[in-house]
Structure 1
């Protein structure tokens, strides 16, 4: 990964399909008196099902305990209860204590490092090739860049989306593959300026969250992005400018958020960015997203917290890794209302069925069980 445009050539399913999925927003949790200010917060983020209601928060996990549910090993849970816990956004079950390397240039990501990252692949002569990245919002929806679909008509109906992959040539048994049934592109997307470069993709059937596939958090509307000082990009894009071959293994690289005002200065992008953009990389260049990383995530957090939020979607740039030409990203925070609107428009009616009643009953029982388990560990 080193923009030119960043584009390169069970059992719970019935219940999940009846749920009206929306988007997860990351709310920072305050430190408790027993926590050191320099220690990442152990509290998981809250998963927002609408603008004002959250699922009950699950408490911190004591080390050394194991059960049948990787995300919550304190107590033995049923498969359905574990599935509900997996709805917490920003969860990375395989990552215990992430300390990415601070080096110039990207490196291979470990499996499960960024479980909300999606490979969008086009079909050419009965073979599939990585085209763009995407971000998981919930079991039925993926967020990506609108320019990935420029001048292709309805060809995307033959594409596929790959979830839970790390190495595309050897995807393994945990990978889930879906197709696109609907694309919602921002109605004011401008291919000339790349303004409003954002799109939603609806899947043909829900994905299942596990160790390798998880929903991303998006930053809350009131979040102050400038305070987020720990940022990463990830994608299968080309690893050097001028290359036409996508990376086989997911690449990750640390970047810095750069004030839009600086990126709009005359010797940088000379006013080409809007208030809907973010700018990330390094003034001297070296680390950047590139062709094929489009639609993929820019993830940030405060170094004192644990959970990343996807604050940007890879959009465009001038070259790859060039001095004073960092990557430009579509701000997810700017488009929260747009995302909410379209997911609300598409949600299914909530029928008074046994499935919905079961879905509504399971969370209180689960919360009670986890509360009792937490008391036993204190």
Structure 2
């Protein structure tokens, strides 16, 4: 686990169930890095050889990532004792420590796992017997909330279907501002678990204060690997001021980026050298620890960030005190078993009004194109191992998984709801010398019927409008349940000064899925 970004799948391996596939979506996931019907005449070529991938990882939605640095002998010994810690690791000559440890069973019993048919994708916290607080960017589709299950590889606890979701009315999916979501369960839990208290004080936590974040997120701080934790992990981080957080900037794998103008009053930042949260931790709680679970106070919700345990970029959380009145009103009116601590005379102090959503951040500067075979130059190259990376979710029909169908790092698009069933790359600024472009990708169709297809579009104006490149429909262009590696399509545009590409599903149900394992864009 680490402390910054979201969306994952438990445990690693192939556990996609075609018979029980859900209607899950994917939102912004934290990237792990140091420091987006008819076929046209475009070229399409398939091969079973995979290309070498240069991972360009950068922001977005949804966190806890650790690297095991102890030896296998020490690790085995520690596991025999019931716990272990992550230590130091060498990465390209630079020491990177993503610290954390297994939690004691029951210590954070209010921590819950949100799971669809592919497994764990976000965390949350139990604030009433039938109410969960999580991140708004985790919302969408059909899923269950798993309560009282310390080890997700076990069958302990219970799994309860979701009755409805209530995202904060001011949630902005472009800026990830007001990233709170209340989930109402179909019934109260019968598990003997604690409820987490909700912070109502705008003065807490204070700058420099130790806070704890937890989840079942990624445990390997490497760009080319991902391993999700079956056991709940926790790590301590330090609160930093919003102004210092907003000043954060740095270069990650050739991308210059900063938090400037993106940190609002609705956000809370925390970091500690080498400790952070990552994929799969989104929606999980950030707490001030008391002497027991019932005395813990939740101050944040894992929201977003750039990198995992990056020296330049802290983890960003949705500040709970800013939404206290809304949380209290919603829980007390919607819960069938409202908690007395919150609804029977809890703190009614009005927190400051949330700030309006901040403007969308400027597009990052892309890395310098690198020479390739012939005169093709790489514009972007993404394998989704650590989240969306250089891409973004288009909406509730898109989702990232840590592993699926024997592949590590997969984006799934579903149904046919326009941009909501798509994912797209962040704008890449071009130097004006490009007139032809090549997109190479790997895909896997599932449940796609004769009238279903998926399409590739591109934009040269920041996504204001899109131009179609090609569409593929089965069974003429592909068969279901087969990975098609290194599929190639080319298109021309003589006037492009910036470029974004988009993959869009054109199905007609939540059983129509297309999975992507990698995307590479080149120009000449």
Could you tell me whether the CA contact under 8 Å between 1:3 and 1:319 is conserved in 2? Answer: no
Q: What is the aligned counterpart of 2:309 among 321, 325, 331?
A: 321
Q: What is the aligned counterpart of 1:138 among 114, 120, 128?
A: 128
Q: State the partner residue of 1:2.
A: 2
Q: Say yes or no: does 1:335 pair with 2:334.
A: no
Q: Structure 2 CA distance, aligned partners of 1:334 and 1:161?
A: 25
TM-score, length-scaled by structure 1:
0.59
Q: Structure 1 CA distance, aligned partners of 2:187 and 2:148?
A: 16
Could you tell me whether the CA contact under 8 Å between 1:7 and 1:292 is conserved in 2? Answer: yes
Cα offset, 1:5, TM superposition: 4.5
Quick one: structure 1 residues 301 and 117, their matched pair in 2 at CA, closer, same or farther if it must change by over 3 Å? closer
Q: What is the aligned counterpart of 1:219 among 190, 196, 199?
A: 199
Could you tell me whether the CA contact under 8 Å between 2:86 and 2:101 is conserved in 1? Answer: no
Q: Structure 1 CA distance, aligned partners of 2:4 and 2:336?
A: 40
Quick one: structure 1 residues 298 and 266, their matched pair in 2 at CA, closer, same or farther if it must change by over 3 Å? closer
Could you tell me whether the CA contact under 8 Å between 1:133 and 1:144 is conserved in 2? Answer: yes
Cα offset, 1:224, TM superposition: 3.0
Cα offset, 1:102, TM superposition: 11
Q: State the partner residue of 1:240.
A: 220
Q: Structure 2 CA distance, aligned partners of 1:261 and 1:343?
A: 32
In structure 2, runs of 5+ residues without a counterpart are: 10-83, 88-96, 250-257, 341-524
Q: Structure 1 CA distance, aligned partners of 2:114 and 2:146?
A: 7
Q: What is the aligned counterpart of 1:123 among 112, 117, 124?
A: 117
Cα offset, 1:164, TM superposition: 1.1
TM-score, length-scaled by structure 2:
0.43
Give CA deviations for 1:180-200 in whole Å, capped at 9, x if unaligned.
011101122111110011101
Give CA deviations for 1:337-373 in whole Å, capped at 9, x if unaligned.
11122224425699xxxxxxxx9xxxxxxxxxxxxxx
Cα offset, 1:244, TM superposition: 4.2
Q: State the partner residue of 1:169.
A: 153
Q: Structure 1 CA distance, aligned partners of 2:298 and 2:209?
A: 13
Cα offset, 1:6, TM superposition: 1.7
Quick one: structure 1 residues 222 and 197, their matched pair in 2 at CA, closer, same or farther if it must change by over 3 Å? closer
Query: What CA RMSD, in Å, does the superposition of the two structures yield over aligned residues?
Result: 3.0
SS in 2 for 1:226: coil
Give CA deviations for 1:194-236 in whole Å, capped at 9, x if unaligned.
00111011111111352xx210011133653207833111100
Q: Say yes or no: does 1:109 pair with 2:91.
A: no
Q: Structure 2 CA distance, aligned partners of 1:317 and 1:3?
A: 9
Q: State the partner residue of 2:161.
A: 179
- Structure 1 runs (4+) greater than 2 angstroms displaced: 2-5, 100-104, 220-224, 227-230, 240-246, 343-350
Quick one: structure 1 residues 3 and 249, their matched pair in 2 at CA, closer, same or farther if it must change by over 3 Å? closer
Give CA deviations for 1:116-173 in whole Å, capped at 9, x if unaligned.
100111113xxxx111000000111000001112xx5xx22xx11111111111243x
> Structure 1 or 2: larger helix share?
1
Could you tell me whether the CA contact under 8 Å between 1:130 and 1:246 is conserved in 2? Answer: no
Q: State the partner residue of 1:254.
A: 236
Q: State the partner residue of 1:312.
A: 300
SS in 1 for 2:321: coil
Q: What is the aligned counterpart of 1:160 among 124, 130, 144?
A: 144
Could you tell me whether the CA contact under 8 Å between 2:217 and 2:277 is conserved in 1? Answer: yes
Structure 2 counterparts to residues 12-23 of structure 1, below 5 A: none
Could you tell me whether the CA contact under 8 Å between 2:214 and 2:285 is conserved in 1? Answer: yes
Could you tell me whether the CA contact under 8 Å between 2:136 and 2:168 is conserved in 1? Answer: yes
Cα offset, 1:4, TM superposition: 8.0
Q: State the partner residue of 2:255.
A: none
Structure 2 counterparts to residues 93-104 of structure 1, below 5 A: none
Quick one: structure 1 residues 138 and 223, their matched pair in 2 at CA, closer, same or farther if it must change by over 3 Å? farther
Quick one: structure 1 residues 170 and 261, their matched pair in 2 at CA, closer, same or farther if it must change by over 3 Å? same
Could you tell me whether the CA contact under 8 Å between 1:168 and 1:249 is conserved in 2? Answer: yes
Q: Quick check: 189-198 or 215-224, which moved more?
A: 215-224
Could you tell me whether the CA contact under 8 Å between 2:290 and 2:297 is conserved in 1? Answer: no
Q: Structure 2 CA distance, aligned partners of 1:312 and 1:201?
A: 16
In structure 1, runs of 5+ residues without a counterpart are: 10-99, 351-358, 360-378
Q: Structure 2 CA distance, aligned partners of 1:235 and 1:3?
A: 9
Q: State the partner residue of 1:279.
A: 269
Could you tell me whether the CA contact under 8 Å between 2:164 and 2:184 is conserved in 1? Answer: yes
Cα offset, 1:177, TM superposition: 1.6
Quick one: structure 1 residues 228 and 321, their matched pair in 2 at CA, closer, same or farther if it must change by over 3 Å? closer
